[in-house]
Structure formats: C-alpha cells, structure tokens
Amino acid sequence: MADNEISFAGRKRPLETLIKGALFMSSLLAIVVTVGIVMSMAFETWLFFEKVSVWEFLFGLEWSPQTAIREDQVGSSGSFGAVPLIAGTLLISSIAMLVAAPVGLISAIYLAEYASARVRSYAKPLLEILAGIPSVVYGFFAALVVAPFIRMTGGQFGLEVASESALAAGLVMGVMIIPLISSLSDDVINAVPNALREASLGMGATQAETIKKVIVPAAVPGIAGSFLLAASAAIGETMIVVMAAGLAANLTANPLEAVTTVTAQIVALLTGDQEFDSAKTLSAFALGLLLFITTLFLNVIAMRIVNKYREQYE
C-alpha cells in the first residue's frame, strides 16, 4: 500500500512562484512609469536651470525662446520667463471651467434627479461621446468654425478679436470637459442617501429647493473633486490650444486676444529641428515638469476629497 499513500505536504510549484513574481513585477510598472516621468524631466530640467536661473523661469515676464535679446545673457538664446505661459494657461482653463462647471453640474443634477430612466439611458451615453472625441477634432473645429464665428460676432459689436483668441480655445475646451464634471457629479449626487431627499420633500420643500438646499450641499466635496479633475484636464490639454490658441506669448487677461499655454509651447519647442542640450529644448522639459507637478497636485487633492466623501456615506 505504500506507493498509494497520499502526501498532504504542499508540492513545490516553481512555476507558480514564477507567475506570482511576474504578476508582482507588472504591478510595479505603474511606479516605474511615475518615477521615469519624474526622473527624465527632472534631469533635463536640472540642465536647464544651469543655463537659466529658476527665478527667471518662474517669475520672468518675457517668453521668447527663439531670439537673443541681451547679448550678456546666460545661454544667450532668448528669455525664458514662464509667467505669460502660465497666465495664458490659467486664462484658457478658467474660460473652459466657466463653461464646463455650470453646464456639467446642472446636467448632472437634471440627469440624477429629474430625468426619467429612459431619457437618462439616452442622454448619459450621448454626453459621454463628448469625452470620447479626440481633442484634435475639437482643435480643428475651434480653429475653423468657433474662432471665425467669435471674430465675426465681435466685429458686429465693434470689438477687435484676434483670429486665434483665448475665448475660442477656452469655449471648445469647456465643452470637451463637460462630461468629466457631469459623470462624476452624477455619481456623487446619486450617492447622497435617499433619507435626506425624503426628509426635505416631506417637510414640503419643492424638488428644486431640495436639490439646492439639501442635496448639492451634501454633495459639495464630491462636486469640488470633479471640478478639480476637470481643471487638471483643462490645464494639460494640448491639441486644442496648439491649433486654436496660437503661440504668441502675450501677458494679458483679455480673452479676445491671442495667448499661448504651457502645453502649446512644449509642442512648439519640441517639434521640428531640435538640438539636445540647447536651453530652448531643455526649457520644454522644465515646462513639462511644471505641468506634471501642477496636475499631480490637483489630481491628488481631488482624489482625496472624492474618496473621503465616499467613505462618509458608505
């Protein structure tokens, strides 16, 4: 009977150990990529700051990487003050948020609280289409249809509108990020417990009053999170601004003028002929790092807020 005996001791399974190892390694990839992003940009940025001072980059008011302005300048290949780019980015993103925040939030409220199941089943996927359309398509539409339309309308009122205005890029970008706000806010509003709704309605409040005074205040953290994520997407958006906002580094708050953004400049600096190690090329990585840190900051805060909020009602 000896050879029929069953051993209950676990067999060594080298293949399974190997598989587990491979699974673990691939989960590390996410960290490797993040580290890779930071390292690659930090290295080039370091080289850049050897040529141009951090102070000049962050607070300089002049951006003209192509032409030398002062002979005695370090690097002598232009001036690298990022303030006009940051201002332009903020201007366009603010316009986008002015469009997307009210429209997205009100759409979410309507879908979550008023719309019938049938309307919801059509309207929600249709809104999601807006997020699925490639940004190059929005850029084309902004440059070809929206910008001339704004220019023409402005002309009727005697306003001087640049052919590549911040307004056109911002408006179109706003439409693109509406679904980001509407779908996340929709989830958040749906997560508000029904007890709150019923209590308010039971006291005689109308549906609109319930929404304005009870549901939205209860959902504010989640809504704020969705706004932050949308703002982060607006800041990082590239193709719309490359195609519709132009490259003129104007320091202005006038939405009818042409401005440029951090992302548009990165594209301008790195497409076409480039020499490595020139301040011009390296500055693109410094801008990239600035962009990465900004969006990282917004994303982390947004995700914290949303997660905390979820826990609150679970």
Residues in 75-104 that interact with another protein by CB under 8 A: 102-104
User: Which C-beta is closer to another protein: that of 71 or that of 116?
Assistant: 116
Min separation Cβ 72 and another protein, Å: 30
For position 16 contacting another protein by CB under 8 A, the verdict is yes
For position 114 contacting another protein by CB under 8 A, the verdict is yes
Annotate 53-85 with DSSP letters as a single string. Answer: -HHHHHH-S-EESSS---TTSTT-S-EE--HHH
User: Which C-beta is closer to another protein: that of 252 or that of 301?
Assistant: 301
Cα separation of 5 and 7, whole Å? Answer: 6
User: Which C-beta is closer to another protein: that of 23 or that of 195?
Assistant: 23
Piece of the chain touching another protein by CB under 8 A; list 41-49, 73-81, 86-94, 160-168: 41-49
Give Cβ neighbours of residue 288 (< 8 Å, ≥ 6 apart).
41, 266
For position 198 contacting another protein by CB under 8 A, the verdict is no
Min separation Cβ 110 and another protein, Å: 3
Total residue length of the chain: 314
Q: Which of 97, 169, 284, 305 binds another protein (CB under 8 A)?
A: 284
For position 145 contacting another protein by CB under 8 A, the verdict is yes
- Taking each helix axis from N to C end, the angle separating 166-190 and 117-132, rounded to the nearest 10 degrees, works out to 140
Hey, which residues between 120 and 139 contact another protein (CB under 8 A)?
123, 126-127, 129-130, 132-139
User: Which C-beta is closer to another protein: that of 42 or that of 253?
Assistant: 42
Distance of CA 50 to the CA centre of its chain: 30
User: Which C-beta is closer to another protein: that of 142 or that of 166?
Assistant: 142
3-state SS assignment for residue 158: coil
Q: Which of 107, 185, 226, 260 binds another protein (CB under 8 A)?
A: 107
For another protein, what does the binding mask look like between residues 218 and 247, x meaning CB under 8 A?
Answer: -----------x--xx-xxxxx--xx----
Min separation Cβ 69 and another protein, Å: 26
Pairing of strands 63-64, 79-80: antiparallel
Min separation Cβ 22 and another protein, Å: 6
Range 229-267 burial, b when 16+ CB lie within 10 A, else e: bbbbbbbbbbbbbbbbbbbebbeeeebbbbbbbbbbbbb
Cα separation of 54 and 48, whole Å? Answer: 9
Give Cβ neighbours of residue 16 (< 8 Å, ≥ 6 apart).
none
Q: Which of 4, 27, 67, 156 binds another protein (CB under 8 A)?
A: 27
For another protein, what does the binding mask look like between residues 258 and 277, x meaning CB under 8 A?
Answer: -----x--xx--xx----x-
Cα separation of 199 and 145, whole Å? Answer: 49
Give Cβ neighbours of residue 134 (< 8 Å, ≥ 6 apart).
239
For position 188 contacting another protein by CB under 8 A, the verdict is no
